[in-house]
Amino acid sequence: MSKKSRSKLWFLVHSWLTLPIWFFVLIVCVTGTLAVVSQEIVWLATPKARATQPSDDAPLLTYEQVLSAIHKAEPALAVQSISRPDESHFALVASVVYPDGRSPSLYISPYTGVIQGESPSFDFKAFTRALHGWWLVPFTNGYSWGWYLVSFLGLPLLGSLITGLVVYKKFWKGFFKPNLRFKHGARIFWGDFHRLCGIWSIWFIAVISITGLWFLIQAFMFDNQISISTAGNPPVVARQDVPIMPDGKPAPQISLDQAVKIAADNIPGLEASFVSLPSNAYGHIEVGGPGWYPLLFQTADINPYNGAIEGSRMIADRSGLELVTESMRPLHTGDFGGLWVKLIWFFFGLILSMMVLSGLLIWTKRTALATANALKRSEKPRRAAALTAHSQQPEEANV
Amino acid sequence: MSKAVAVQPTSTLGRLWHKWRFHINILLLLVPLGFMPKYFADASLFRGDSGLGERDIGTVQVGPWSLQLAELRNEAPRPDGPAGYMKSFNAALCDTCIDQVKAAYLRIGKPRSLRAAGVIFFGTPYRMGATLPIPERTKADAELWITLEGWDGSMHQAAIPLSQASPATIAWLAQRGAK
Query: Phi first, then psi: what are they for A248, rounded to 5°?
Result: 75, 5
Length of chain A: 399
> Which chain A positions have a beta carbon within 8 Å of B102's beta carbon?
242, 250, 281
- CATH number reported for the structural domain that contains residue B126 in this entry: 2.60.40
Do B90 and B16 fall within a single domain?
no
By C-alpha distance, the chain A residue nearest B115 is A239
Residue B84 sits in the same domain as residue B36:
no
ipTM score:
0.89
A109 within a domain of the structure (yes/no): yes
Q: Which of the two residues, B10 and A104, has the higher pLDDT score?
A: A104
The sign of the torsion formed by the CA atoms of A28, A33, A38, A39 equals: positive
* Closest residue, chain A, to B5 (C-alpha): A375
The domain that holds A96 is classified in CATH as: 3.10.450
CA A312/CA A279 separation, integer angstroms: 17
| H helical segments located in chain A | 3-16, 22-36, 38-45, 63-73, 124-134, 145-152, 154-167, 173-176, 186-200, 202-223, 256-266, 320-333, 338-362, 368-378, 381-391, 394-397
Residue A130 lies in a domain: no
Do B41 and B60 belong to one domain? no
The reported pLDDT for the residue numbered B5 is 43
Q: Tell me: the pLDDT tens digits for B47-74?
A: 999 999 999 999 999 999 999 999 999 9
Residue A396 has a pLDDT of: 31
**3-class DSSP state of A351:** helix
Contacts of A239 in chain B (CB under 8 A): 115
**For residue A135, what is the DSSP state?**
T
A135 within a domain of the structure (yes/no): no
Q: Are residues B118 and B156 in the same domain?
A: yes
Q: Write down the pLDDT at residue A398.
A: 30
Residue A56 is assigned to a structural domain of this protein: yes
Same domain, B122 and B70: yes
pLDDT in tens, chain A (399 residues): 677 888 888 988 898 888 889 999 999 999 999 999 999 999 999 999 999 999 989 999 999 999 999 999 999 999 999 999 988 899 999 999 999 999 999 999 999 999 999 999 999 999 999 999 999 999 998 999 999 999 999 999 999 999 999 999 889 998 988 889 999 888 889 999 999 999 999 999 999 999 999 999 999 999 999 999 988 888 999 999 999 999 999 999 999 999 999 999 988 888 899 999 999 999 999 999 988 899 999 999 999 999 999 999 999 999 999 999 999 999 999 999 999 999 999 999 999 999 999 999 888 887 667 767 777 776 655 454 444 444 433 333 232
Cβ distance B4 to A375 less than 8 Å, yes or no, reads yes
Give per-residue burial for A331-355: e unless 16+ CB within 10 Å, then b: bbbbbbeeeebbeebbebbbbbbbb
Query: Has residue A307 been placed in a domain?
Result: no
Assess whether B85 and B124 both reside in one domain: yes
Q: What is the pTM of this model?
A: 0.89
A385 falls within a domain: no
Q: How far is A66 from chain B (nearest CA, A)?
A: 19
Minimal C-alpha gap between A351 and chain B (Å): 21
Number of separate domains in chain B: 2
pLDDT score of A78: 97
Q: For residue B32, which of A218, A151, A128 has the smallest C-alpha distance?
A: A128
Q: Which domain holds residue B41?
A: 1-50
Which domain, by its residues, includes A81? 47-119
Q: Are residues B46 and B61 in the same domain?
A: no
Average pLDDT over chain B reads 92
Calculate how close chain B gets to A177, using CA atoms only, in Å. 33
Q: What SS3 class is residue A115? A: strand
In a domain, A80, yes or no: yes
- Please check whether residue A52 lies inside any domain of the structure: yes
Identify all chain A residues contacting B51, using CB atoms and an 8 Å cutoff.
101
Under DSSP, is residue B66 helix (H, G, I), strand (E, B) or coil? strand
Contact A280 B122 (CB under 8 A): yes
Residues B91, B32 share a domain? no
Q: How many domains does chain A have?
A: 1
Asked whether B91 and B67 are in contact (CB, 8 A), the reply is yes
Distance of alpha carbon A290 from alpha carbon A277, whole angstroms: 19
Judging contacts by C-beta atoms under 8 Å, the chain B residues touching residue A137 are: 31-32, 35
